[in-house]
Amino acid sequence: MSAAVMFHPPKHQIQRFVEGELSAGMSVALSAHMEFCADCRRTAGAAEAELVAQWNAKEALQSPADLTGILDAITQQPQERANTPSTPVSRKLVVDDQVISLPRVLAQIASAGLNWKTVSNGIRSAKVDLDTDTTCEFIHMQPGSKAPQHSHRGNEVMLVLDGKFSDEMGEYGASDFVIRDPAHRHQPRTETGCICFSVLDSPLVFTEGWLRLWNPIGLALFQLTRWRRRKLI
């Protein structure tokens, strides 16, 4: 993770991250990126300071009648005198014969165990269920593999955890935060192998029971199948 990070989340997204307005999946991707990106941490710090300075009450809270009761109830609780040490989570992720170190938040998520499934030749993915607004998965691309060309309805974020991949628009290395919006059609490929964390906003809803295909690569397969069918007809 020592190489310079070249691709970052845009400022407005960092702002929404700090506000707590992003989905859990997207927040996880930003948090993981920031663990290795001092620039974005600074941006987030500045955004938070600004937000706090502007923090005021737009809607007045009707003081509950039993305010005194609430205060009493609270101040009778014991205080924490020391940080409760969080249970240490292993940062290691083992994929085949490869061992990589994960950002803290992803290590936490992966600690429940990952279930890898082959999506296409040389490409596997392990979905993690974080929320209903996004589809999140770890993606492992073996050296020399290529994802089918695809586009998607929502924004897709690929956070590079290890190795490199490239597409029509550039090459991405460790900690790069790559955003592809619905207008992009792209085909990720890798020479040396790559492990990513991917977040797809607004999951695709298939009415035909193709639930397994609701990830970007799955969608591409779905489109391919449809195209082949059309050709046959």
Partner 1 sequence: MNNLSLSLDRFSMGFMVLPESRAAHTPKSDALVTRETDSDEDLLIAVGNRQDRIAFNTLFARFSNRIFAMGMKLTRNEQLAHDLVQEALLMVWQKAPLYDLDRGNAQGWIFTIARNRCFDMLRKARRQPACVSADDIWPLEGESGELSTSGETGFQSVELSQVEQYYGQLPEAQFAVIEQIYVFDRTHEEAAELLKIPLGTLKSRLRLGMEKLRTLVGVEQ
Contact positions vs partner 1 (CB under 8 A): 19-21, 24, 27-28, 31, 48-49, 51-53, 55-61, 63-64, 67-68, 70-72, 74-75, 77-83, 85-86, 104-105, 108-109, 112, 128-132
Q: What residues does 171 pair with on adjacent strands? A: 166
Here the tokens at position 167 are 């597409």
Q: Provide the minimum distance between the beta carbon of 11 and partner 1 in the complex, in angstroms, as a whole number.
A: 18
Closest to 20 (Cα-Cα) out of 10, 31, 9: 31
Which residue, 127 or 150, is less far from partner 1 as judged by CB?
127
Which residue, 5 or 105, is less far from partner 1 as judged by CB?
105
- CA-to-CA distance for 51 and 168, rounded, in angstroms? 37
Q: What is the chain's length?
A: 233
Q: Provide the minimum distance between the beta carbon of 126 and partner 1 in the complex, in angstroms, as a whole number.
A: 13
Q: Provide the minimum distance between the beta carbon of 136 and partner 1 in the complex, in angstroms, as a whole number.
A: 10
Q: Provide the minimum distance between the beta carbon of 115 and partner 1 in the complex, in angstroms, as a whole number.
A: 13
Which residue, 83 or 207, is less far from partner 1 as judged by CB?
83
Q: Provide the minimum distance between the beta carbon of 112 and partner 1 in the complex, in angstroms, as a whole number.
A: 6
Which residue, 88 or 209, is less far from partner 1 as judged by CB?
88
Which residue, 69 or 182, is less far from partner 1 as judged by CB?
69
Which residue, 2 or 68, is less far from partner 1 as judged by CB?
68
Which residue, 109 or 147, is less far from partner 1 as judged by CB?
109
Q: Are 136 and 110 in contact (CB under 8 A)?
A: no
Q: Provide the minimum distance between the beta carbon of 134 and partner 1 in the complex, in angstroms, as a whole number.
A: 11
Q: What is the dihedral of CA 142, 148, 153, 159, to 10 degrees?
A: 20
